[in-house]
Amino acid sequence: MKTALQYLIWSVIWMATIGSTTPLSASSAAYEDHATEVIYNSLQRYTKNRFLHRFYKRLLFLPAWMHEEGLSKPAEAFFYAIRNDKTLDPAGLVAADGRALYEEARKLYATNASFLKKMEMEFRITLLYEAYTNYLYFGGINWGAFRARIANLKVNGVSTEWELHRPKVDPVGMVERALLGGDLQRMLVDEQPVAYHYRALQKALVRYMRIAQQGGWPKVVLSKILKPGGRDKGVPSLRRRIRVTGEDSDCMQLMQEERYEECLVEAVKRFQRRHGLEPDGVVGPATLRALNVPVSKRIETIRLNLDRIKWFNPRQPYYHIVINIPFFTLYFEENGYPVLTMRVITGRPKNPTPIFSDELERIVLNPYWNVPKSIIQKEMIPKLLRNPYALENEGIVIYNGWGKDAEVIDPASVDWSLYRYSKHVPYRFAQPPGPKNALGKIKFLFPNRFSVYMHDTPTKPLFKRAKRAFSHGCVRLQKPMGMLETLAHVDPSIDLEKAKRILQSGKNVHIRLKRKIPVDIVYLTAWVDYDGVLQFRDDVYGYDAMQLKSYKRW
C-alpha cells in the first residue's frame, strides 16, 4: 500500500514526465538526461522536503540509485549497509523500509517496469537515505524539546545548560564521492563517532539486542536480603540472571542449589560494580532493582547515550580531561588512556553542573573564594538576617565593593533584607585562603560563561559516598595534588617543588599554563569503560527521562 508521500512523489513525477521532451526509451546517456530533466522538474513542484532539494542540487539532478539497467553501485552499497547494521531495530521503519525497497527496486528491473516507476523509487530511496543517515549521525534526541524543558527548569530556579556540538558530517557528499567510485558502505561506517568508546557501546547494544531476541533475562525474586553464604529459593533465578549478562564464571555452571556460594557472590560483585552499587555481594533492594531492570530498558538507555555522544565535542586530543557526571569520576587521558582517575563531587540536582567543553588555562594556589551572588542571596543573607555574625565561623569576610580599595564592613551595619531578592548586591563576600576555604588549597580554571571550575575541598568525607551530587555546580576533586602533579609532567610552566612550597606558605599565586588542556564535562548513564566493560549509572539529573519524552524511534 502506498503512503500519502509516495502518491505525492508519483503524481509529481508523472506531471514532470508529461512535459518532458526526451523520449522514454533511449540509451544509457539518454536515460540519464531524461532522469535529470524529470528530477529537476519534479523538485520545482515538490518543495516540502529540503533534503531532496539539497541532495539532487548537489548531484546536478543526476539519479543516484536507479540507473537504466539496474541499481547503481552506491545503491547496492547503501542497501548492504542497512542489511548489515545490527544496531537497527529489526522492526523499526528504517530496517523494514530498507528490506522492502530493496526487493521492490530489484523487481522493477526484473519486470521491466516503467521509467515513471523507477523515478518514484529513486526519490523513495533518497528519503530512506535521509532517514538512515539521520539515525546514524544525528540520533533520536529532540534537542529543541529538551532545551525547552531546560528553559522550564531555569524558570523554576534550576540553573543548568547542555552545550551541543552539531555533528560535522556530509551525507550528500558521501553519495557524490560514491558516484565517482568511492565505497559508500565504508564511508557510512567511517563517519560514525569514535570518541567516548562509541564503537564499543554499539557492540554492547547489539549484544543486548541479541539477549532481548532470546527472551531477555529472568526476574529475580528473593524472600529476604541475600547475604554471602545464605540460602534462598530465589538463588537459582539469580544465577540464571547473572549468567545472561556474563558476570558469571565457569565455576557457576555446576551450581544449581539454593545456597549463595562464593562463586556467585563474586559474580554479583562484578554486576554491582558495573551498575555503580557498593560491591559487597549483598543482594539488597538496590541490587535487586538493578537486576530486574528489563533488557528493553537497558537497550533504550544504551541507544540514548549513543545519541548523546554524537552531539558531544568529538575531539580526541593527546591530553584530555573528561568528567562524567553520573559516574562522579574524572579521567586525565594521555593518548586515549587514563593516567589519573579520581572521584569528583558535582552539582546538586538543584544546581546541576553544566554539560560543556573548554580548556584548562590556569591554576590558582591558595585561592580566595569570591561567593557568587546566587549563593549570597539564597544561603548567606538568610543566615545574616537571623544573626549578623553568622558567617564569621565560616571565615567569610564582607567588603563594601569589588575594587582594590574596598573596605571590610561590619555585617550588623547593613539591612540585609534589602538585598534578599535584589538584582544587585553591592557587597563582596570573600573567603580568604585557609583551612576553612570552600575551594581548598588549589583551584583549576577553564574560564567559561557558567563560572564553573575544578577545585580542592575541605569536605573530604563526601568522596566516600557512591552518589556525590553536593556542590553548587563546580567540580570538587578527590586528588587535587594528583592533578597538579600530572599537569607538572605535561606543562613546563609548573615547578612542582616551588608550587608545594607556595601551598605551605598560604600565599595566593596564579600559574598560567603554556599548554591548554581540553576539558569535557559529559553526561553518560551507559558507556564502555577503558577495560571494555559496559557500565550503567543512575540518571542523577533526570536528563534521561527528559530526553526520552520526545525521543524518536527509528
Residues 252 and 327 in one domain: no
Cell of 264: 556467585
How many other CB atoms are there within 10 angstroms of residue 267's CB atom? Answer: 22
- Sequence-distant (≥ 6) Cβ neighbours of residue 381 within 8 angstroms: 416, 419, 420
Residues 452 and 422 in one domain: no
Q: What is the pLDDT of residues 30-54, one digit of tens each?
A: 888 899 999 998 888 765 778 999 9
Confidence band, pLDDT 50/70/90 cuts, at residue 155? confident
Residues in the chain, total:
554
Residues 248 and 376 in one domain: no
Residues 505 and 408 in one domain: no
pLDDT of 246 reads: 85
Range of the domain at 392: 371-431
Task: Say if 274 falls within a structural domain.
Answer: yes
Q: What is the mean pLDDT of residues 133-159?
A: 90
pLDDT of 25 reads: 44
The domain that contains 282 carries what CATH number?
Answer: 1.10.101.10
| CA distance readout (Å), 62 to 36, 71, 170, 320, 523 | 5, 14, 18, 45, 43
Q: What is the pLDDT of residues 498-532, one digit of tens each?
A: 999 999 999 999 999 999 999 999 999 999 999 99
Task: Say if 532 falls within a structural domain.
Answer: no
The structure's pTM equals 0.90
Q: Which residue, of 415, 431, 447, is where some domain finishes?
A: 431
499, 504, 508, 513 alpha-carbon torsion, rounded to 10°: 10
Answer whether 511's CB lies under 8 Å from 499's CB.
yes
pLDDT of 11 reads: 54
Q: Assess whether pLDDT exceeds 50 at residue 22.
A: no
Q: Which residue, of 388, 407, 431, is where some domain finishes?
A: 431
Q: Angle of helix 28-45 relative to helix 115-137, nearest 10 degrees?
A: 70
Residue 242 is given by DSSP the state: H
Least confident of 63-67, 172-176, 418-422: 418-422
pLDDT of 221 reads: 96
Q: What is the mean pLDDT of residues 130-139?
A: 97
Q: Cβ-count burial of 388 within 10 angstroms (0-12 exposed, 13-18 middle, 19+ buried)?
A: middle
Q: What is the mean pLDDT of residues 538-553?
A: 96
Residues 439 and 511 in one domain: yes
Q: Assess whether pLDDT exceeds 50 at residue 1.
A: no
Answer whether 45's CB lies under 8 Å from 18's CB.
no
Q: Which residue, of 90, 115, 137, is where some domain finishes?
A: 137
Task: Say if 124 falls within a structural domain.
Answer: yes
Residues 330 and 361 in one domain: yes
Task: Say if 487 falls within a structural domain.
Answer: yes
Confidence band, pLDDT 50/70/90 cuts, at residue 252? low
Q: What whole-number distance in Å separates Cα of residue 88 and Cα of residue 132?
A: 9
Query: Which one, of 438, 482, 451, 467, lies nearest residue 344 by Cα?
Result: 467
Task: Say if 206 falls within a structural domain.
Answer: no
Task: Say if 410 falls within a structural domain.
Answer: yes
Q: Pairing mode, if any, of strands 369-370 and 428-431?
A: antiparallel
Residues 272 and 321 in one domain: no
| CA distance readout (Å), 152 to 146, 155, 471, 472 | 10, 5, 22, 19
The domain that contains 338 carries what CATH number?
Answer: 2.40.440.10
Query: Which one, of 315, 425, 350, 328, lies nearest residue 381 by Cα?
Result: 425
Residues 229 and 96 in one domain: no
Task: Say if 418 falls within a structural domain.
Answer: yes
pLDDT of 160 reads: 83
Residues 267 and 330 in one domain: no
Q: What is the pLDDT of residues 221-250, one digit of tens each?
A: 999 999 999 999 999 999 999 999 987 766
Q: Assess whether pLDDT exceeds 50 at residue 23.
A: no
Percentage of the chain modeled with pLDDT above 90: 78
Q: What whole-number distance in Å separates Cα of residue 276 and Cα of residue 488?
A: 32
Q: What is the pLDDT of residues 444-475, one digit of tens each?
A: 999 999 999 999 999 999 999 999 999 999 99
Percentage of the chain modeled with pLDDT above 70: 93
What residues does 121 pair with on adjacent strands?
none
One DSSP character per residue, 169-230 reads: --HHHHHHHHHTT--HHHHHHHTS--GGGHHHHHHHHHHHHHHHHTT--PPP--SS-B-TT-
Q: What is the pLDDT of residues 391-429, one digit of tens each?
A: 988 889 999 888 878 899 999 999 999 998 888 899 999
Number of domains the chain is built from? 4
For 406-435, letters b (16+ CB in 10 Å) and e give: eeeeebeebebeebeeeeebebbbbbebee
Specify the higher pLDDT residue, 195 or 424: 195
Least confident of 179-188, 279-288, 398-407, 480-489: 398-407
Task: Say if 327 falls within a structural domain.
Answer: yes
Q: Assess whether pLDDT exceeds 90 at residue 282.
A: yes
Cell of 384: 545574616
pLDDT of 254 reads: 52
Confidence band, pLDDT 50/70/90 cuts, at residue 481? very high
Q: What is the pLDDT of residues 356-378, one digit of tens each?
A: 999 999 999 999 988 888 889 88
Residues 404 and 493 in one domain: no
Q: What is the pLDDT of residues 339-348, one digit of tens each?
A: 999 999 999 9
pLDDT of 405 reads: 85
Q: Assess whether pLDDT exceeds 90 at residue 196.
A: yes
Least confident of 2-11, 129-138, 155-164: 2-11
What is the pLDDT of the chain when averaged over all its residues? 91
For 1-27, letters b (16+ CB in 10 Å) and e give: eeeeeeebbbebbeebbeeeebeeeee
Residues 331 and 382 in one domain: no
Q: Assess whether pLDDT exceeds 60 at residue 9.
A: no
Residues 43 and 114 in one domain: yes
Cell of 82: 542497512
